[in-house]
Structure 1
Amino acid sequence: MKVLFTQNKVNESPKGWIFMHIETDEICTVIHTSSVFDPYPELYVWLGKIRDSHLPAKMVINEEGRGVELIAESTETDLLCFRIEPWMSYEDQTRLKIFIKPSNLVLAFTNSIIEFIDLHYQRSRWSSSDNLSNINWHNLLTPENTAYDRWEQRLAIYGGGEDRNAQEAQQHRQKYLTVTQQILRQFIADLSTSLLLAVYGRPIDAYKLSSFYENLITDLAVNEIDLHWYQERQSKIHQEIGELDFSGHRHPAHIYHERQARLETLQVGQIVDGKVHKIQPDGVFVDIGGCFALLLNSAISHDPIDDPKQVFRRHAWVRAIITWMDIEKGRVLLSTADLEPQPGDMLIDPLAVYKRAEETARNQSE
């Protein structure tokens, strides 16, 4: 098996797309990773999980609402079953299914990432700052594939699931990270925030947040780390700084938490209003106030639709009913067909369908 990473050409848009080619003797498949999704931290954890025999290992490659899932599962032999499955997609067939040694799978991805960074990676084609070239892939992924117990440490370093449950994440970090590791993780997070504060015109707050780490090297050298003091001081400074607003700049972490908060207000069977964000050949992505939902062609009307542009234009109002959702993964499926009083009404007069949406949904539920 061979893995290749390539970037979009200079004149192509949008910037930041990376294409992942996976080639075997029988098949070649291409996965597109978008500029709004940086797969590399997740890819590192996914590969580390395989290396540490913590299986199955699963990772979604996002394509702005639809994508594929990389799955590595153990078998009765010493081989892995490596698959690429459609996920939230109009596709219904497995793209790839092969059997391979765990070490060979890790090595194929590791070598391709290292080659890509060393020979082909061009930051000028990237849409924003990223940490791809700041990861030492040689050291992280090339050890022999022996059974370590490092997956839980990786999870703790990347937050411990704090996006789902802050208290459990804190307990996870306390269990799997040393005091020094917890301090360094806190320092890196605050360093990033300090840089953003400085860039967006808040140098005093940036200094507040970074200055109390000035004795960190001394504390580490003489082994006098006081985790409780650092955490208390950090909490107090964050309260003084207040809400992080960066003059309209939205940090990816803030966008993620906002989306999750919005998802928790939704439920299957709920009628939602939104605007068309993007029209694809197989469906429409709808902004429903903080998160994007997918309205597939088959769910637009009970009558067949060849092109969603028959019904929608960009930024148009949409009223639809939620038919499926996964809060943890941030996925929502919509239907306007289920709000049609008569099959084909969405093709004739969408506004009339929207006006009667509650009545139609109520009648269909009785």
Structure 2
Amino acid sequence: MADARITLAYGRDTGIVAIGHGERYKAAHQALAASGFRRGDDWVYHLPNADEDASRATAADLVRHATAHGVEVTTSSRRFIGDTARDIARLLPGQWDARIELYSHPAWQQDLVPWLWDSGELAHVVQNERIPYAATLTDTAGTALLLVERPGHQLDYLVGAFAPEPFEEGYGDPHAPRSLTLPPFADRAARTVADRFLPAYERAVHTRRIATVTEALDRIRTEHGTWAAVVASGRYSDTPPLGATALGEAAETFLNRAWAEFLTVIQHAPALLDRCRPAATGRPEDARLLAQLADALTDAKGLDRDASLTRTERDTRLWAALDTWLTHSEPFLRQARAATPPRQHTVPAAAPPRQP
């Protein structure tokens, strides 16, 4: 028989909570409903009241209905993960939103795999262990974290990150940050996230931006080399010489391909430029070049949407932007690699108990 389970935990504000899961999770939901549990908007089941006698009666009914439905009931050694996530979110620097996530069917958690941006234990756990529920922590800047109970441990948690939105999927990315183990105490867990994980996450984002821009510029440079070779020889490989029209079409093909790649530069380079500090690297002369690169991005942004431009005007401005970036990419990358992402504000340490 396929599995069906109910996990019970204690919620600070709601009392006993129940989560049904397994391949036969619907049977678990039926047992919960039949015994008097009520489903919340987050699909977590709660007791309808906090009366102790009524709660005991409902719990006894749950065991009976679960047995009738072939459902196994277990009690978690941890408090409700929603409470844990909200407590951590409240203590983190900035504004964070905590939400419970349910993966009632075992296959559903696999939907997380492409989006997890992790080089540590969390990615392995999501792919190989049963995770019926988790919590997400999201801040106003779009940083999204995943919090799960650490399998095989009674109290610990794991925290890792989803890929930042500009990068889309994160699976297998060599630049991904490593997930961390968190203690069951919210203040210590929040300090671990703020002092260790978030700085590592910001460094990973910075490094991946550099790699993404570098790859885009390399592809543009390759396309430019191919186009320049055609112009120099007047032909494609061993084909007959090209006329003016064909050479013009070759230039247009190059610009279209280069623009597709340059959009990546437009998207990621500004954040890198903002963090560059040439004076701190002993190369203050790079500041002028970085300003030219920033101006080129500003001038190129929206070229494909500006209906007032003729094709010639668009191509001229794009050529100028590409030339600036291909010419000065080396000092840009030098400064970007030397730049340091801003450090997150730390969580204050809990005050020690007063001496009597």
Q: Same fold (TM over 0.5)?
A: no
| Higher relative strand content | 1
- Structure ID, larger Rg: 2
Provide the TM-score with structure 2 as the length reference. 0.29
Q: Which has the higher contact order (CA 8 A, sep 6+)?
A: 2
Provide the TM-score with structure 1 as the length reference. 0.28
| Higher relative helix content | 2
